[in-house]
Structure 1
Amino acid sequence: MIENGYWRRSAALIALATGLVAASGASAQTANDAQAADDVVVTGTRIRRPDLTSNSPLTSVNAQELTLQGTNNIENALNRLPQFTADANENVSNGSNGTAQVNLRNLGSNRVLTLVNGQRLLPTQAMDLNFIPSAIVERVDIVTGGASAVYGSDALSGVVNFILRDKLDGFRLDAQTSIADHTNDNGFLRGIVSGRGYQTAPSHVFDGGKQDINASFGKTMLDGRLNITVYGGYRRTDPVLQSTRDVSACALNSASTTFTCGGSSNTPFGTFTPLGGPLAGQKLTNSRDGSKTWVPYDSTYTYNYAPLNYFQRSDDRYNAGAFMHLELSKAAEIYGSYMYMDDRSFSQVAPSALWFGQTYAVTCNNPLMSASQQQSLCGAAAGTAATQNTLIGYRLGGSGTLPRRDDLQHRYYRSMVGVRGDIGHGFNYDVSVLRSSAHYDEQYLNDVNVTKAQKALLAVPDGKGGAVCQSVLNGTDSACTPINVFQAGGLTGQQAQYLYAPTRTWGRYALNVISGSITGDLGTFGITSPWAKDGVSIVLGGEHRRETLYFTGDEVAKQAGTQDSDGIIAVNEGFGEIEVPIAQDSAIGKALTLNGGFRYSAYKNDQRSTGYSSKFNAFTYKGELSWQVVDPVRLRASFNHAIRAPNISELFSNLSLGNVNAVDPCAGAKPTASLSACQLTGVTAAQYNSHLVIECPSDQCTGQSGGNRNLKPESADTYTAGIVLAPRGGRNLSVSIDYFNIKVKDYIGSIDPNTIISQCFSTGSPYYCGLFRRDPLTGSIFGTGYVVSTTLNTGYLKTSGLDIAANAMIPLGRLGRLYGDFIGTYLFQQATQPLPGGDSYDCKGLFGYACGQPTPVWRHNVRVTWKPDQKTSLSFNWRYIGPTSNSATSSNSYLTGPADPIDARLPAYSYFDLTGAVEVNRNLTLRIGANNLLDKSPPALASGVLNLFGNGNTYPGVYDVLGRRIFVGATVKF
């Protein structure tokens, strides 16, 4: 619900500003006022000038490029640019929150500020690019480098600014459909899958359909002074299973120079390790013949969890909105917008299980066990009402069991109203109020409830030859159904239905912004450099922002560990900017211009549930230089000192446990670490010598995460320097080369559990080894054991490199024109220092556990478009991703580790796209195209190498995982 008091105060402010400037500006119609209508505002500055250009590296993706790419997902279009590293997207299922984000310069999606028409898009922790209606995007500006002095917190790596077509005059309809077309012909992988006895992927598939339709309508009225534009759209994405692709048909393990089909030890055969009795510490499983007999467990019993996992999530998105511009006078234009989105996405993974690592008590007279099983489990207590603690893993794979599904729904609302205008003497003002909110609702379905599973295992004879739960007899749970995990496939769908307990969590996020600024040309008062004709320009303003968060869950979710979380961050800011033309048309060149800016921020953090409150202040600033040496040559450089304040979750989220990809060197029959090293992490000599430390199932160990009230802001110093070459004004050719260097200090994060493990066992550091919390019974670091990985201010992140861009137009006479666009990034450094004062590691050219997704040294896009006439175009695009190596092959102590040759390197990848378009008449344009024209399959890796954004044995945000995508679209306008 909208906070009425907030809006009343904001409306009063705008009404006051409107009345004052309308009265003062009614007669102020000067030459300077007329020129103001043509002023340009560039992303990265608030200065207004007719001839303004960017002093920072700026990349723009226009609507034509989005159309040529044939993508209906904004994040997919941006992730193709070499400046971006893919974050969460539609091809990540397990662990996804259903949102789409971007990661600029591989510094994290939380360190790039996302704007719409120069204003903040959504609450920081609810960012979702699905909210952007792609059909009305005019262009996307990407600015590299800190921009906190201009926009405030979060702009460390840069800014992504979506410029929308918010003043239409007419009707426009955009529709597109696409489908993935892939041939599964990887004989190597198909042989591995079939050799394990698993089903191979179909030889050819057409799937993964996407449909997108958007309509927009605008009308200009009152002699051009009023424009109202409305839009609405629907997008549908069909799910794709991992069973449909060679690369993902089974969970791959590496074995020197080849792969094997691995999987999970949570199998339909069951996995049992008694913690007492005759077979204490032994890993057992049910016999394959279906009898109630335990045999030693080995890797041939593993479960292939991959086929039912989604390789592309299903998604339905509805969005709608409206924009309004009303010019009361030159001194007062009222503008506003309302934007809405409802997005619902489903992810799916393999059926749930009683997860191995959880300790269950089993009754020694459980009638679902055979006499031999009772004897093996309990020894002399067999057949009695005694219980034995046992580690049990059992996959719900029988008839009637269902895959786990995550129902993720997001509803976003964004309202904005403002007034701006000319107040004479070269000055303009802009006052606005913005409120955006996000409603997040997640329901996790078909998952085993541990409490119910425990009740179902405490079964006793019912006196009729069957079994009954103790909880039924004592009246604590009359619905309890005993479960048969004591033979392969013995757990039925009816038994599974009792175990299922849907969990629901939801959150509410809100952002309120009141902002006002005055821009002016001091040249009207004679404040001009003696060597320049243009005057000094200034901006002065203030801003108030307030973010709130509340997150909770139902009782089942809370029993599973979900805890309520809340918080408020409020900030009051004052900012300023100045641009000084030092010299123009002088002996030192065409133009030399300096730009500077500052922002002072006063923060207050509150948590109502605990009464906690804290305050801090921050100061950010920037300096920029632009030197137009001659018309074709411009040099530019900038320095920015930026901050990112900790968000609400980083400050106040409660402690929770979750899965992390890791390997425990102390676990298994043959530990790779020594007894003395393992003892530093909490393993006892008895556990080590008896090989009782259980391996993390499927390399899924447990990590503890949570907030930290004592966090301080991150700070970043960013440097850029570049040259722009534009012969003949850039009409036929323009080239830019820009160097960037960004260092984020005290970055907020957690120490990766793999770093903790590797540093503990390579150095014996008490700090790292002290972060282990091993299960007291099993010594494991999964289940109730874990590695502490909570939020803290750590060391630094640093990246540097070169951006190279070029645009060209070649006249072909009667054959039309040829257009070329090139953009590439060469990476010098991608470094991380996990702890202040400690060693660092560089992920340039690497991928893997610590480095995450591939970070190639070189990436580029080249597009060549032929336009034989004004109505027809044929466009070819080449996307290049450089080779990378497994970080485990590095000699750096943070990165080095075991790596099989088959996982040691990812080759360079080239994708080719082709799009054709024809304007049938002035009202209709048709287009058809194919991305990944040659249907190139993604590289395969062992599943244990992948990080958070890996899926299906590959990196779906980096590579085209579904193969060739064919799209057909149409635009109707009148």
Structure 2
Amino acid sequence: MKKINNTGARVFKKSSLTVALSGAILAGFSFQGLAAENDEIEKIERVQVTGSRIRSAEAMSSAPIQVVSGEAIDASGSLNIQDLLLENPAFGSPAISRTNSNFNTASAGVATVDLRNLGSNRTLVLVNGRRYVSGVPGSSAVDLNSIPSQFIERVEIMTGGASSVYGSDAVAGVVNFVLKDDFEGLEFEGQYGESSEGDDESRQFSFTSGLTSDDGKGHAMFHLGYSDQGAVFSRDRERSAVDQFSGIYFEDDPVANPGSIFDAQSPFLSSFPPQGRFSAGDDTFTYDANNNLQDSFSTNGGDGVGANGFNRSGVRTIAIPTERYLFASNGSYELNDKHSFFFEGTYASSTTNSELEPFPFASDDIYANGRVPIEFDVNGELLRNAFVPDDIYNAATDTDGDGARDIFFAKRLSDVGNRGARAERDTFRLALGFQGEITDNWFYDTYYVYGKTKESQVSGGLVNVQSFRQGLEAVIDSQDLDGDGITNEAICIDATARGFNCSPVDIYGFNSLSQGAIDFVSAPSTLSTSVEQEIIGGNISGDLFELPAGMVGIAAGFEYREEFSRSEFDALQQAGLNAGNAIPATEGSFDVTEYYVEANIPVLDSVTMNAAVRLSDYSTVGNTESWNVGVDWEVIDSLRLRATRARSTRAPNIDELFSPPSQTFPSGLNDPCLGITNSGGGAAGDACRADVGVANNIASNGEFTLNQSDLQGISGFNRGNQDLKEEVGDSVTVGLVFTPEELISGLDITLDYFDIEITDAIVSTPRQFILDQCYGGGDTSFCDFITRRSGPSGNNSAGSLEFIDSGVSNSGGLGTEGVDLTLTYATDIGPGAFRTRLAYTYLMDGYSIPLPGADKDEFAGEIGASEHKANWNFGYKLNDFDFNWSLTYIGAADFDDQFLSGFGIAPGGIGIGSVTYHDVQASYHINDSMELYAGANNLFDKEPPRILSGVSGSSTGTETDAGTYDPIGQSFYIGFRSKF
């Protein structure tokens, strides 16, 4: 093998890397310099790969790296890079996407990524090797909506710990977006698409230009992009058009019939109807479709009574409409032969609109005793409510002993309007720096990065609880209380409220609220957030000294980073007085100073070792340490073996540290007391009967029984913890790279084993775990987090769960283990060129541990974390035609074992089958500057697995796991690219 004299490179920018099979970077780059006639000197460009800051002539990595090329991005037709990345089996279901976040109180429509199912906060997102500002307040999760897909050169994905090189948050791995930097000329692109159902309309336009200064020293690129993705509503898909609920809650013997989880209770309408439901004495009233009062009510119909409930699915959204404007720019200028200045700038503006059903409002949202008075003592005279119908008034009694009749009501506030939020997000990022050559083979770069994300959100469909109460307490003004001389008008009793234009509220029947009442009670919620990031850093790298096998490469550097986040709702929302979640303001900041050193050591001609260590000093958790050691062995020309052992750390984010108690409404929970009778049930039975409310429920029904409102009426508060410390992740990767060029030219194979274990994991104790521990699990201290109703409250049963609180702590453990296989092959077949790429992941193990000493909660093989996942692409290019076919396979999966155990069903006892999606694209080059393309996603319109509401893993309104499976269906697009 010819020895190369490393005299140093004068080219500093990265060039395109030759990448073998889904991401092992296999080929180095060299440039022959012109020298004297007898001088054999080759000047080589030193490049950097994700996972290392050492510039090397060989782009090798001892850790697995997968690469998504710009060509693959073009061939996908994806408007958002998240859609393409999720096809890669290394990624788990995202915490937030356009199709699973409609019910989020904040960050709806944001696009995040999650490597290895370990959480988006453990996946570090970089742009050109540097951190990117978060798009989710209080966290490190980056909103991929702010990264322009058409401006991406490639995406490098490194799994396994990388904190020693990049710092906190890289426990699961790194996703590095490398932007284009060497384009010259002009490029236009336009695309339009829609689903086969006629919705999910999408359009995007982009313009990219690149130019070089006359003296050749300066180069700059600019990109402008616009995209718009339309809404998809639950009512427009057959599986989700009507409210339904898992039949497992109503099956007498789920063990004997585990398939009951598929038996939907349909319709399973809401008992909060827009016409109102009224309990007066022993009678229940509602209104029929003609707005006539009737003395019977049936939510879902039966026994000769029609359904009076409300179909929430008629309003819910599957895919949130998202509009984006993007600007990106980068450039460099050579100050002299050895030093240059560079800059990167990004601005993204996005608008999302979430929409869901009108608010379900009831007496117990207003009055502590859950009863609404319909008589009022006014100056010693008992006056009745101005609007209460005679039949309801006559049936009403005094249930709270205050001498006045009262009733219970429940009403869907359709008059006020649908709930939903319009969120406007802006992300700005600027990176400036210098880079160059200190001496031969010694390079440096320094940089300053500033990023800011801000969000302004306005939510509708909510009401001011105090105003609603003032409006309800209205009578006919027979005493002329307001002094206007009119004695037959309805007025609010409270004189102070009248001074604020109180308008009487009529809750009886469809469209009963006047416009004045709507204006008086409406309380739009506002949210203002800000995330700021500021970074100063520098690196040097070069050859330290020479060993018999080659030069020892080294890199060292520092980084100082400040993070700030603030999230603040309006005062009513913070106090929970607009009938929504009580969400206090969250604000916090931290700074960290870090130093690292990395070495690349050629032990033998065929064996190279690398090692790195990083020391960090956080203002919150103090000192942390991360490190890694790796080896790369070229066994023969066609076979390389590689291994890495790493320790990574993740410091707690601002939300985890500083979040005050904020209200949430969890779903998919199983109450251990359900079905408990006066005797039996073991320890769980004893613990349940010890609760007064549960005992009263059993006395009334013979066993503990829950109704529909109970299942939908659980709330709780999440809390931060300023005593948190960092979590530690230990990872091992071992793999081989096989390139049998002499046997099969064009074939590359990599096989990698990964094992990641996280200790002291920062987790919110799962609410199901809290329930199971309190009721028969042996740790009654968890009962302090649970509040049950002592007696009937409005429409809820005695003993039903009202609040389950949870907080974060370093009490958890996480782990995942598996194997990645990737294969690429390219060859000429017939008159054209054939190419194929396979990426397959076998998830051997995946688990979480709620508390030290607790049993593992296995998630490998469950919905969202199938054991087998793969993506297989085929392409064929013939002259000016290019065709691509992509298959994404998601293996069979089980329902969450913790959820099933509550019904006596063993883990793995029930699940869903595998799913394969087919995407195709064909393109034609009309000439050298014009290309037309068209494609179809989910070509065969594969329906997602049926995962009903009420079952763990279901995304509300979609009747499936919309983060894992396609809830939209078949769609088509057409577009063009023009380059000059």
TM-score of the superposition, structure 1-length normalised?
Answer: 0.85
Match of 1:598 in 2: 613
Contact 1:315 1:344 in 2 (8 A): yes
Alignment of 1:83-102 (within 5 A): 83-87=90-94, 88-92=96-100, 93-95=102-104, 97-102=108-113
Rounded to whole Å, the distance in 2 between the matches of 1:699 and 1:719 is 43
Cα drift, residue 697 of structure 1: 5.1
Match of 1:855 in 2: 865
Alignment of 1:719-734 (within 5 A): 719-728=732-741, 732-734=746-748
Alignment of 1:277-676 (within 5 A): 278-279=281-282, 290-292=291-293, 294-295=295-296, 298-300=299-301, 301-355=308-362, 358-360=365-367, 361-365=371-375, 366-379=385-398, 386=404, 388=406, 392-397=409-414, 401-463=416-478, 464=487, 467-471=490-494, 473-475=495-497, 478-487=500-509, 490-491=512-513, 495-523=517-545, 527-528=546-547, 530=548, 532=549, 534-560=550-576, 561-584=582-605, 591-605=606-620, 615-663=621-669, 665=671, 676=686
User: Residue by residue, what CA displacement relative to the aligned partner does 1:160-216 show, whole Å, maximum 9, x if unpaired?
Assistant: 0001002321111121111111xxxxxxxxxxxxxxxxxxxxxxx212111111111
Cα drift, residue 876 of structure 1: 1.4
Match of 1:917 in 2: 923
Higher alpha-carbon deviation: 137-146 or 220-229:
220-229
User: Residue by residue, what CA displacement relative to the aligned partner does 1:769-788 show, whole Å, maximum 9, x if unpaired?
Assistant: 22102345547799993111
Alignment of 1:57-96 (within 5 A): 57-87=64-94, 88-92=96-100, 93-95=102-104
**Alignment match of 1:239 (pick from 231, 245, 250):** 231
Match of 2:176 in 1: 161
Match of 1:258 in 2: 263
Contact 2:112 2:141 in 1 (8 A): no
Cα drift, residue 30 of structure 1: 12
Match of 1:800 in 2: 817
Contact 1:358 1:784 in 2 (8 A): no
**Alignment match of 2:890 (pick from 861, 878, 881):** 881
Change (3 A) 1:939 1:465: farther
Rounded to whole Å, the distance in 1 between the matches of 2:615 and 2:284 is 61
Change (3 A) 1:304 1:506: same
User: Residue by residue, what CA displacement relative to the aligned partner does 1:221-256 show, whole Å, maximum 9, x if unpaired?
Assistant: 244321011111111111122111112101222333
Aligned amino acid, residue 81 of structure 1: N
Change (3 A) 1:617 1:570: same
Match of 1:747 in 2: 761
Match of 1:791 in 2: 808
Cα drift, residue 597 of structure 1: 0.3
Secondary structure of the structure 2 residue equivalent to 1:135: helix
Cα drift, residue 568 of structure 1: 1.3
**Alignment match of 2:976 (pick from 952, 970, 973):** 970
User: Residue by residue, what CA displacement relative to the aligned partner does 1:422-459 show, whole Å, maximum 9, x if unpaired?
Assistant: 11142111110101011111111122332222222222
Contact 1:417 1:434 in 2 (8 A): yes
Cα drift, residue 289 of structure 1: 7.3
User: Residue by residue, what CA displacement relative to the aligned partner does 1:54-101 show, whole Å, maximum 9, x if unpaired?
Assistant: 211111111111111111111111111111123211123121533110
Secondary structure of the structure 2 residue equivalent to 1:677: helix
Contact 2:888 2:917 in 1 (8 A): yes
Cα drift, residue 460 of structure 1: 2.7
Rounded to whole Å, the distance in 2 between the matches of 1:924 and 1:579 is 45
Match of 1:117 in 2: 128
Rounded to whole Å, the distance in 2 between the matches of 1:775 and 1:102 is 39
Alignment of 1:162-177 (within 5 A): 162-177=177-192
Change (3 A) 1:306 1:671: farther
Change (3 A) 1:238 1:493: farther
Secondary structure of the structure 2 residue equivalent to 1:110: helix
Contact 1:668 1:694 in 2 (8 A): no
Rounded to whole Å, the distance in 1 between the matches of 2:35 and 2:592 is 38
Aligned amino acid, residue 469 of structure 1: C
Rounded to whole Å, the distance in 1 between the matches of 2:884 and 2:670 is 51
Secondary structure of the structure 1 residue equivalent to 2:765: coil
Rounded to whole Å, the distance in 2 between the matches of 1:136 and 1:931 is 22
Change (3 A) 1:36 1:838: farther
User: Residue by residue, what CA displacement relative to the aligned partner does 1:797-817 show, whole Å, maximum 9, x if unpaired?
Assistant: 11110100000013224x212
Change (3 A) 1:272 1:642: farther
Cα drift, residue 558 of structure 1: 2.9
Match of 2:252 in 1: none
Rounded to whole Å, the distance in 2 between the matches of 1:392 and 1:740 is 57
**Alignment match of 1:708 (pick from 721, 733, 748):** 721
Change (3 A) 1:492 1:690: farther
Match of 2:881 in 1: 872
Secondary structure of the structure 1 residue equivalent to 2:871: strand
Match of 1:842 in 2: 858
Rounded to whole Å, the distance in 2 between the matches of 1:516 and 1:724 is 33
Percentage of identical aligned residues: 27
Rounded to whole Å, the distance in 2 between the matches of 1:139 and 1:474 is 64
Cα drift, residue 579 of structure 1: 0.7
Match of 2:730 in 1: 717
Change (3 A) 1:424 1:895: farther
Change (3 A) 1:272 1:731: farther
Structure 2: 5+ residue stretches without partners: 1-33, 248-259, 302-307, 376-384, 479-486, 577-581
Aligned pairs, how many? 881
Match of 2:254 in 1: none
Contact 1:112 1:157 in 2 (8 A): yes
Cα drift, residue 295 of structure 1: 3.8
**Alignment match of 1:206 (pick from 198, 202, 207):** 198
1:149 aligns with 2:164: yes
Cα drift, residue 482 of structure 1: 2.8
Change (3 A) 1:718 1:778: farther
Aligned amino acid, residue 258 of structure 1: D
Secondary structure of the structure 1 residue equivalent to 2:335: strand
Contact 1:242 1:249 in 2 (8 A): yes
Secondary structure of the structure 2 residue equivalent to 1:64: helix
Higher alpha-carbon deviation: 656-665 or 909-918:
656-665
Rounded to whole Å, the distance in 2 between the matches of 1:634 and 1:58 is 14
Contact 1:677 1:764 in 2 (8 A): no
Cα drift, residue 37 of structure 1: 6.2
Higher alpha-carbon deviation: 931-940 or 684-693:
684-693
TM-score of the superposition, structure 2-length normalised?
Answer: 0.84
Secondary structure of the structure 2 residue equivalent to 1:756: helix
Contact 1:178 1:966 in 2 (8 A): yes
Rounded to whole Å, the distance in 1 between the matches of 2:528 and 2:603 is 55
Contact 2:234 2:957 in 1 (8 A): no
Structure 1: 5+ residue stretches without partners: 1-28, 182-204, 585-590, 606-614, 848-853
Aligned amino acid, residue 805 of structure 2: V
Secondary structure of the structure 2 residue equivalent to 1:557: helix
Change (3 A) 1:684 1:943: closer
